Amino acid sequence: MLEDNYKQRGLRNKLVKKLRQKGITDEAVLAAIGKVPRHVFFDDALLAHAYEDKAFPIGEGQTISQPYTVAFQSEKLEVKPGQKVLEIGTGSGYQAAILLELGAKVYTIEFNRKLYEKTKAFLPSFGYNPYFFYGDGSKGIPAKAPFDKIIVTAGAPVIPSALTDQLTEKGILIIPVGDRESQKMLKIHKNAGKLLKEEFNQFAFVPLLGEGGWTSKD
Ligand code: SAM
């Protein structure tokens, strides 16, 4: 369903209005949400829900994040055109598309092989071309570091040190940290080697797996 008609554009405009009401103010982020066709990420059975402000299943027990969450994380990331951004948890590719609309050079890594294959084949078909990686993103991508910004789209038990290590000197990491059910959104600024932490509201993400995330023993 790659077609984007006036009805879908209208629903997207309504979604943007709702995000403004919920406190999103970054015009570039709002414009990106207004531009990326979210319905193309949905199976036919769920199509009618594509522009609701809700998370939805994308297969493999994973979800496409709620638009408010995507907008919130994107706003806090303060992306400037041309910056190198690492996304951990490619999932459907929707967040990666938003980051590309913000002008970032996007590296995205997914730990679920099927989702990685699916999104890598699908996302470029409508013009979004991040660099796709398969593997444990809790370790970052050392070979491609440093990154100006890192966004984690799964809930972590702690802040993986590999990620703060892979930030540039003025870099920002945005990551939900907490238990398996709910996490506090954290924003870590690196400044002259020091890490400054800001805390925001609670969110509910699927767990970050791997070495810096939840292991099956947890
Ligand atoms: N950003 C996605 C989107 O726009 O659709 C939503 C991501 S979904 C909430 C979280 C994703 O993180 C899942 O696809 C999951 O497989 C992935 N994930 C979990 N642990 C990971 C890890 N250690 N490295 C990379 N991806 C991971």
Q: pLDDT band at residue 94, thresholds of 50, 70 and 90? A: very high
pLDDT at 218 over 60: no
Site to substitute for ligand 1 among 69, 111, 116, most atoms within 8 A of C-beta: 111
Q: Measure 192 CA to ligand 1 centroid, in angstroms.
A: 30
pLDDT in tens, 64-75: 999 999 999 999
Those residues with Cβ within 8 angstroms of residue 31's Cβ, 6 or more apart along the chain or in another chain: 101
Site to substitute for ligand 1 among 153, 183, 211, most atoms within 8 A of C-beta: 153
Label residues 30-57 b or e (16+ Cβ within 10 Å = b): bebbeebbbbbbbeeeeeeebbbeebbe
Q: What is the reported pLDDT for 4? A: 79
Cα-based torsion angle of the residue sequence 8, 13, 19, 24 in order, rounded to the nearest 10 degrees: 130
User: What domains, with CATH codes, occur in the chain?
Assistant: 55-66+78-203 (3.40.50.150)
Q: What is the reported pLDDT for 89? A: 97
Rounded-to-integer distance, Cα 131 and Cα 18, Å: 31
Mean pLDDT of the chain: 94
Q: What is the reported pLDDT for 66? A: 95
pLDDT in tens, 75-93: 999 999 999 999 999 999 9
pLDDT in tens, 103-158: 999 999 999 999 999 999 999 999 999 999 999 999 999 999 999 999 999 999 99
| pLDDT above 90 as % of the chain | 86
Q: pLDDT band at residue 2, thresholds of 50, 70 and 90? A: low
Q: What is the reported pLDDT for 62? A: 84
Ligand 1 contacts CB of residue 89 (under 6 A): yes
The encoded tokens of residue 170 equal 């003025």
Residues pairing with 110 in the sheet: 134
pLDDT at 192 over 90: no
